[in-house]
């Protein structure tokens, strides 16, 4: 049995420095080296979430990291999740359960509430530490935002509470890396600086030896060693949680591929549902709210939303709703997931103003159903049979996160997309060109992906794409890259408990 290690934490000079991906790399490295690691982030702010096997809700970044560890996700890995509902307020999810909506002023301005959440985060960390070794912690954004220091439950306060060997991740691709590293460390309190064991320069393009002088300057200025320079890479595909990742996914139409237009929503949630389309060579997926690009696509996908009624109204005002309806009439495939599925019905209602100030809006009218937003949030994992007529095998997997109840209109016949293992049905299947489902992750199943490509695959591929196996390969490739460019002997030296 391997020795017990101290916790390790990765914090950043800025948002999108690559902390989540480096965290995932170390999760896989520790697993490969015979340990039983687990990820942890005290607080996430994201609309990309996941339902755990126990039915709790957590941010997807720690789900990816748990996959890299080879363990099941648990809400202890992300005890506080903030899901923005509009520009001023967020739903607060604590230990996997929603506990209410708060404005930013209420959330950040009440010291007692922050202390309560910090205590909950510490308890979750301790529970996790009793089951796994080592705990691989991730910070949030920049650790040098002094105006947020007193409200911090995620960065250096958590590092101190955990006694974590802490490593600063800096994005050199942005420029000004020496200044950002020096300034970040200079602004730390002495006790915080004592936790800082190394600096990782991330996203370096070209010959890393050209940065040797930069390494020396950083080490002389900060007194902290640069333990690695990670190259910028395009050939390793790791799911990214932050919405800034969408800026890298604005592809356009490509001949010879199945072109998929994912409708860009202001409050889009769980865009990771569509990551598999970036990996399967049959598809060319792009996020867009441009009507011309929508009309050129073979398939239109309507994603989930944290404010479904308002997003649908925005689509209608911009003429996009009519473009979607027109595409359906012209034989294009139109598929909705979660909030997108709700939009496809005849009407949406929010009588308790749970999402916003719109009590009701007309839907797209593509499916014979109506949806009412209700206070109870459904969060659960399921196995299911896809297009269940005549099937009894529940070989597909997905998860639900929604607050809506959808019912059929009038005498519309039942036509489910999925038969779940507990006997429930999900979704509505009009025909192969028009269907919707509450099931997040539904496209990750090869059977569903093949159905999506049916009749459109230009190269008539016969081999299904195995997304689960693909992701395992990516975690191993990521771990190999980071091992090559990080001083792992030094890392283990800092984690050894004397």
Cα separation of 141 and 361, whole Å? 37
- Round to whole Å and give the CA distance between 171 and 179: 12
Q: Is residue 242 part of a domain?
A: no
Evaluate if residue 55 carries a pLDDT over 60.
yes
* HSE-CB of 68 using CA atoms within 13 angstroms: 33
Q: What is the token pair recorded at 98?
A: 């929603």
Segments forming the whole domain that contains residue 105: 8-237+473-495
Q: Which residues pair with 418 in a beta bridge?
A: 386, 426
The answer to whether residues 279 and 404 belong to one domain is yes
Residue 227 has pLDDT above 90, yes or no: yes
| CATH number of the domain enclosing 399 | 3.40.50.880
Cα Dmax for the chain: 76
The predicted pLDDT at position 215 comes to 96
The catalytic position among 74, 328, 402, 440 is 440
Average pLDDT (128-141) is 97
- Two tokens, residue 252: 């356009």
Q: Does the annotation count 338 as an active-site position? A: yes
CB 28 within 8 A of CB 475: yes
H or E segment to which residue 107 belongs? helix 104-109
In a domain, 1, yes or no: no
Q: What is the pLDDT of residue 444?
A: 96
pLDDT of residue 240: 79
If asked whether residues 130 and 229 sit together in one domain, one would say yes
- Pairing relationship of beta strands 165-171 and 8-12 according to DSSP bridges: parallel
Overall pTM > 0.85: yes
The arithmetic mean of pLDDT across residues 55-82, rounded, is 96
| Helix-, strand-, coil-residue percentages of the chain, each rounded to 5 | 35, 30, 35
**Are residues 445 and 477 both part of a single domain?**
no
27 classed as catalytic = no
DSSP-derived secondary structure letter, 324: H
| pLDDT tens for each residue of 330-361 | 999 999 999 999 999 999 999 998 888 899 99
Instruction: Give the active site residue among 69, 338, 396, 434.
Output: 338
Contact 465, 446 (CB under 8 A): yes
Residues 431 and 482 in one domain: no
What CATH number does residue 29 fall under?
A: 3.40.50.300
Q: In the predicted model, is pLDDT for residue 459 greater than 80?
A: no
Structural domain count of the chain = 2
Give yes or no for a cis peptide into 108 (omega within 30° of 0).
no
Residue 251 lies in a domain: no
309, 217: one domain: no
Half-sphere exposure of 167 (CA within 13 A, CB side): 33
Assess contact for 24 and 68: CB atoms under 8 A. yes
**By CB neighbour count within 10 A (0-12 exposed, 13-18 middle, 19+ buried), where does 304 fall?**
buried
* Residue 127 · residue 113 · CB < 8 Å: no
Among residues 65, 97, 60, the alpha carbon closest in space to that of 273 is found at 60
């Amino acid at each position: 049995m391997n020795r017990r290690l101290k916790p390790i934490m990765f914090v950043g000079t800025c948002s999108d420095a690559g902390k989540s991906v480096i965290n995932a790399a170390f999760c896989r490295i520790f697993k490969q080296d015979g340990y039983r690691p687990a990820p942890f982030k005290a607080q996430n702010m994201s609309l990309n979430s996941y339902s755990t096997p126990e039915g709790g809700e957590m941010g997807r970044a720690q789900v990816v990291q748990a996959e890299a560890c080879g363990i099941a996700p648990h809400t202890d890995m992300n005890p506080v999740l903030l899901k923005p509902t509009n520009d001023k307020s967020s739903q607060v999810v604590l230990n996997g359960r929603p506990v209410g909506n708060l404005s930013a002023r209420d959330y950040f301005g009440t010291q007692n509430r922050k202390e309560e959440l910090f205590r909950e985060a510490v308890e979750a960390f301790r529970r996790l530490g009793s089951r796994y070794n080592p705990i691989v912690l991730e910070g949030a954004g920049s650790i040098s935002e002094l105006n947020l220091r007193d409200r911090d439950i995620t960065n250096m306060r958590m590092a101190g509470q955990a006694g974590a060997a802490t490593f600063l991740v800096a994005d050199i691709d942005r420029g000004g890396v020496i200044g950002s590293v020096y300034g970040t460390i200079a602004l730390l309190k002495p006790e915080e600086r004592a936790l800082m064991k190394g600096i990782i320069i991330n996203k370096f393009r070209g010959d890393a030896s050209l940065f040797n002088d930069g390494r020396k300057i950083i080490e002389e200025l900060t007194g902290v060693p640069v333990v690695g320079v990670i190259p910028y890479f395009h050939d390793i595909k790791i799911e990214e949680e932050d919405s800034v990742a969408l800026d890298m996914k604005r592809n356009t139409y490509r001949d010879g591929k199945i072109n998929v237009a994912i409708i860009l929503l202001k409050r889009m949630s769980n865009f990771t549902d569509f990551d598999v389309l970036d990996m399967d060579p049959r598809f060319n997926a792009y996020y867009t709210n441009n009507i011309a690009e929508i009309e050129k696509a073979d398939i239109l996908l309507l994603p989930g939303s944290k404010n479904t009624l308002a997003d649908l109204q925005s689509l209608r005002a911009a003429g996009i709703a009519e473009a979607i309806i027109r595409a359906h009439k012209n034989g294009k495939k139109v598929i909705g997931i979660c909030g997108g599925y709700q939009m496809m019905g005849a009407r949406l209602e929010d009588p308790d103003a749970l999402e916003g100030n719109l009590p009701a809006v007309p839907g797209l009218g593509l499916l014979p159903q109506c949806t009412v937003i209700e206070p109870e949030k459904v969060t659960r994992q399921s196995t299911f049979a896809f297009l269940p007529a005549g099937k009894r095998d529940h070989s597909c997997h997905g998860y639900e996160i929604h607050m809506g109840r959808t019912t059929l209109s009038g005498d519309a016949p039942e036509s489910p997309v999925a038969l779940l293992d507990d006997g429930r049905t999900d979704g509505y299947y009009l025909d192969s060109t028009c269907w919707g489902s509450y099931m997040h992750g539904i496209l990750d199943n090869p059977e569903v992906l093949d159905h999506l490509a049916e009749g459109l695959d230009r190269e008539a591929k016969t081999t299904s794409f195995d997304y689960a196996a693909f992701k395992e390969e990516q975690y191993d490739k990521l771990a190999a890259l980071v091992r090559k460019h990080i001083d792992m002997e030094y890392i283990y030296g800092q984690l050894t408990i004397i």
